[in-house]
C-alpha cells in the first residue's frame, strides 16, 4: 500500500511535467493542425538555458541574487522568455511559409527544425551529460502516511499546477484566450470577427514553448542530469499525453499528462523497468483503438 502511494506520488510529479509539455503540443495542434515536432527541443532548450544561467550567475552560491528562491524564479522567467523567442522564430521560419501547403511538408520542416536545434545545442555544449549544481535547494523530506515527499517534488507540482491553472484561466476568461479558442474552431470565421489570426498564432507560439521550457527546467532541477537528446523522449511522451487526452483540448492535455505519468510509473514499478518507455505507447494505442478521439476529445476536423 505504501509502495503504491509512493509510486502514485512519483507518477503525479512526472505526469505534471508531461502535462506542461503536452499543453504546447495541443495548443499548436488546436490552432494549426500541425504536430510541432520541434516542441520537444523547446523543453530541452529550457533546461540548457536554465543550467547556463544558474552556473554563470551562481544562483545559490549567491553572487547576484541573495535569495535562492528569488534567483530560481528569475532563472525560470529568463529561460522561458528566451525559449519563447526561439519558438516564435521557428514558427516564422519553418511553419508560417508552409501554412497553406500540403500536409506532409510541415511535418518534414518541423523534423528538420528539431534536428537543427538539437545539433546546435550539441555543438555548443558537447555530447556529454550536463549536470546541474548540487545543493541548490535543501533536500527536505516530509513523511506523509509513510510516503516520502521531497521539497523538489512539492515545488515541481506547485509550479506545474500553478502554470496550468493560470493557462486555463487565461484561455477561458480573458478576451485573448477567447480569441484563441475561436481561432481553434475556425480561422476564417475568427478573422471575420476581427481577430488577427497571425497574432493568435504568435501568442500560441509564445505560451507553448514557455510552458515546455518550464517543464525542462524542472526536469533539470529534479534529475540534475540533462542531455541534448532528451527533447525526443520527453517530447514524444508529452505528445502521447496530448493525444490521450484528445488533441486540441487543453484540459485533456492536463489529464492525459497526469494519467500517463501515473500509469508509466506504476508499470515500471510493478511490471518491468526496462519496458517503461514502451508502456506509454501501449496505453496510447489501446486508448486510440477504444476511443479514437482521446479521453476528453471531441472530433477535431481534419485540415483539408
Partner 1 sequence: MKWVFQINEISLGPGIARTYALAGLGVLLVIYPLVVNDYWAMVGNFYGIYVLLGCSLNLIVGDAGLFNLGHAAFYAVGAYSTAILNTRWHVPTLVLLPLSAALAAMFAVVISKPILHLRGDYLCIVTIGFGEIVRIALYQNPFGLTGGPNGIFGIGRPSLFGFVFRRPWHYFYLIWAFVVLTIFAMRRLEESRLGRAWNCIREDDLAAEAMGIDTARLKLLAFALGAGVAGIAGNLFASNMTVIAPESFSFWESVLMFCIVVLGGPGSVPGVIIGAFGMFVLPELFRGFFLRSRLLVFGAAMVAMMLFRPEGLLPVQQWKRAAESRGEGARRAAAV
Q: Which residues contact 303 (CB under 8 A, 6 or more apart)?
A: 33, 103
Residue 295 binds partner 1 (CB under 8 A): no
Residue 124 binds partner 1 (CB under 8 A): no
Residue 240 binds partner 1 (CB under 8 A): yes
Restricted to residues 63-92, the positions that interact with partner 1 (CB under 8 A) are none
Range in contact with partner 1 (rule: CB under 8 A) among 4-12, 79-87, 115-123, 139-147: 115-123
Residue 48 binds partner 1 (CB under 8 A): no
Restricted to residues 95-114, the positions that interact with partner 1 (CB under 8 A) are 97-98, 100-109, 111-114
Q: Closest approach of Cβ 293 to partner 1, in Å?
A: 8
Size of the site for partner 1 (CB under 8 A): 48
Site track 194-233 with partner 1 (rule: CB under 8 A), x = hit? --------------------------------------x-
Residue 35 binds partner 1 (CB under 8 A): yes
Chain residues that interact with partner 1, rule: CB under 8 A = 29, 33, 35, 93-94, 97-98, 100-109, 111-120, 123, 232, 236, 239-240, 243, 247, 272, 274-275, 277-278, 280-282, 284-285, 288-289, 292, 302
Amino acid at each position: 500500500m505504501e509502495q503504491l502511494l509512493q509510486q502514485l506520488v512519483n507518477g503525479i510529479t512526472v505526469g505534471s511535467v508531461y502535462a506542461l509539455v503536452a499543453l504546447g503540443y495541443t495548443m499548436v495542434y488546436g490552432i494549426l493542425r500541425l504536430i510541432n515536432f520541434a516542441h520537444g527541443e523547446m523543453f530541452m532548450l529550457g533546461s540548457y538555458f536554465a543550467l547556463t544561467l544558474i552556473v554563470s550567475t551562481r544562483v545559490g552560491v549567491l553572487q547576484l541574487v541573495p535569495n535562492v528562491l528569488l534567483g530560481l524564479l528569475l532563472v525560470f522567467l529568463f529561460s522561458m522568455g528566451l525559449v519563447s523567442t526561439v519558438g516564435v522564430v521557428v514558427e516564422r521560419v519553418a511553419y508560417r511559409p508552409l501554412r497553406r501547403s500540403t500536409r506532409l511538408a510541415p511535418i518534414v520542416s518541423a523534423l528538420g527544425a528539431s534536428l537543427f536545434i538539437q545539433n546546435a545545442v550539441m555543438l555548443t555544449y558537447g555530447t556529454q551529460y550536463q549536470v546541474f549544481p548540487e545543493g541548490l535547494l535543501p533536500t527536505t523530506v516530509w513523511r506523509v502516511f509513510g510516503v516520502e515527499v521531497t521539497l523538489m517534488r512539492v515545488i515541481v507540482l506547485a509550479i506545474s499546477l500553478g502554470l496550468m491553472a493560470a493557462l486555463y484561466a487565461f484561455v477561458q476568461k480573458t478576451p485573448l484566450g477567447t480569441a484563441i479558442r475561436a481561432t481553434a474552431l475556425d480561422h476564417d470565421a475568427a478573422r471575420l470577427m476581427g481577430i488577427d489570426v497571425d497574432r493568435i498564432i504568435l501568442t500560441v507560439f509564445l505560451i507553448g514553448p514557455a510552458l515546455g521550457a518550464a517543464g525542462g527546467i524542472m526536469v533539470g532541477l529534479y534529475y540534475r542530469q540533462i542531455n541534448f537528446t532528451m527533447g525526443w523522449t520527453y517530447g514524444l511522451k508529452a505528445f502521447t499525453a496530448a493525444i490521450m487526452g484528445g488533441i486540441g483540448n487543453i484540459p485533456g492535455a492536463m489529464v492525459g499528462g497526469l494519467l500517463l505519468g501515473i500509469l508509466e510509473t506504476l508499470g515500471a514499478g510493478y511490471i518491468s523497468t526496462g519496458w517503461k518507455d514502451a508502456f506509454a505507447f501501449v496505453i496510447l494505442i489501446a486508448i486510440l483503438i477504444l476511443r479514437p478521439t482521446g479521453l476528453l476529445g471531441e472530433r477535431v476536423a481534419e485540415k483539408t
